[in-house]
A = this chain, B = another copy of it.
Amino acid sequence: MALNAKSPTMKQAADISDNGFFMQDILSVRQFNPENLTYIFHVADEMRTLVKRFGSADLLSGYLLANLFYEPSTRTASSFMAAMMRLGGSVIPINEVHYSSVSKGESLPDTIRTLESYADIIVLRHPEVGAAQIAADYASKPIINAGDGVGEHPTQALLDLYTIHRELGQLDGLKVAMVGDLKNGRTVHSLTRLLSRYNVEFYFVSPDILKLPPEMVAEVRARGHKAHEVEDVREVIAAVDVLYVTRVQKERFHDLAEYDRVKNHYIINPELMALAQERMALMHPLPRVGEISYGVDGDPRAAYFRQMENGMFIRMALLAAVLGKA
Contact = CB atoms under 8 A, between A and B. Distances in A.
Interface residues of A, number: 62
Contacts of A120: 55
Contact of A78 (B12, B94, B311): B94
A55 B11 contact: yes
Interface of A: 10-13, 51-57, 61-64, 66, 72-75, 78-79, 81-82, 85-86, 88, 90, 92-97, 99-102, 104-106, 109-111, 113-115, 117-120, 286-289, 294, 305-306, 308-309, 311-312
B312 A117 contact: yes
One complex includes copies of this chain to the number of 3
A305 to B, nearest CB: 5
B104 A287 contact: yes
Contacts of A312: 117-118
Nearest to A11: B55
Given A308-B117, A312-B117, A286 B110 contact: yes
Given A55-B10, A78-B118, A96 B110 contact: no
A316 to B, nearest CB: 11
A53 B305 CA distance: 41
A308 B114 contact: yes
Contact of A287 (B74, B110, B287): B110
Nearest to A106: B287
